Amino acid sequence: MVNNNATASNGTAKQPVVCVFCGASEGTSPVHMASARALATALHKSNTKLVYGGGTVGLMGEVARTLVSLSGPSSVHGIIPQPLVRFEQNHDPDDITSHRIDESIYGQTTVVKDMHTRKQMMAREVVAGGPGGGFVALSGGYGTFEELMEVTTWNQLGIHSMPVIIYNVDNYWTGLIDWVKNAVTSGFIAPTNAGILSEALSADEVIQCLKEYENAPGRFNLTWED
């Protein structure tokens, strides 16, 4: 389970870690790329680290580039599965020797073997960072949705107890938020679990939600290893 102490085991102060899920595309409206920059700026102001999917494209690349430009390369850790490198990092796809991201622009990058390893590493970094950290979804497609739902169900199961925030830019996620309300009314999501997902309407509100989050009681007490 989560160590909610404000200090790491070696006694040093913990730095919160936020995992951002977001599109590998830019979206058709400039508000989505602008929200990626706004979120990175808010992370910088709150001295928060980023762990993300390690891509250079779309909203993903914009969040990472912006935060590295403000807080430096050590503030960002990208974790990318090997098969995605040629699609989600801007290299010459025909030249395998060019598959090396510029860490001075995108932060530290780790290439892993598969999606599951990536998700587990990301979640572990968020949990290790302690209070103030959590998972945040910007606008995105199937990949973003899948990652968002996975950490939501992991919270419901008690695998972690970190906040999961939807940054609802331009009503992009309103359909999902309405679905949660309907699922509670219809008896498919327990009322105590309705609040696992929090909605934020601005980047500053994302940070506020992360700070104020209190995990609801009644989750299963599972552990990774079990």
Task: Give the one residue of 17, 24, 136, 197 binding ligand AMP; rule: CB under 6 A.
Answer: 24
Which residue lies nearer to ligand AMP by CB, 78 or 163? 78
Least distance in angstroms from the C-beta of 164 to ligand AMP: 15
Residues numbered 167-226 forming contacts with ligand AMP, rule: CB under 6 A: none
Contact 21, 140 (CB under 8 A): yes
**Rule CB under 6 A: is residue 62 a binding residue for ligand AMP?**
no
Question: Given the rule CB under 6 A, which of 21-29, 37-45, 151-159, 166-174 is the region that contacts ligand AMP?
Answer: 21-29
Q: Distance between CA 117 and CA 187 in Å, rounded?
A: 33
Instruction: Give, as ranges, the residues between 144 and 173 that touch ligand AMP (CB under 6 A).
Output: 144, 146-147
Residue choice 107, 132, 140, 163 for contact with ligand AMP (CB under 6 A): 140
3-state DSSP of the chain: CCCCCCECCCCCECCCEEEEECCCCCCCCHHHHHHHHHHHHHHHHCCCEEEECCCCCHHHHHHHHHHHHHHCHHHEEEEEEHHHHHHHCCCCCCCHHHCCCCHHHHCEEEEECCHHHHHHHHHHHHHHHCCCCEEEECCCCHHHHHHHHHHHHHHHCCCCCCCEEEECHHHCCHHHHHHHHHHHHCCCCCHHHHHHEEEECCHHHHHHHHHHCCCCCCCCCCCCCC
Of 107 and 140, CB closest to ligand AMP: 140
Smallest distance from ligand AMP to CB 106, Å: 14
Residue 134 near residue 39, CB atoms below 8 Å: no
The answer to whether 27 contacts ligand AMP (rule: CB under 6 A) is no
Q: Which of 14, 17, 19, 23 touches ligand AMP (CB under 6 A)? A: 23
Q: Which is nearer to ligand AMP, 173 or 213 (CB)?
A: 173
Write down the least CB distance from residue 101 to ligand AMP, Å: 14
Please work out the total of residues on this chain that contact ligand AMP, with binding judged by CB under 6 A. 15
Positions in the binding site for ligand AMP (CB under 6 A): 23-25, 53, 55, 84, 88, 115, 140-144, 146-147
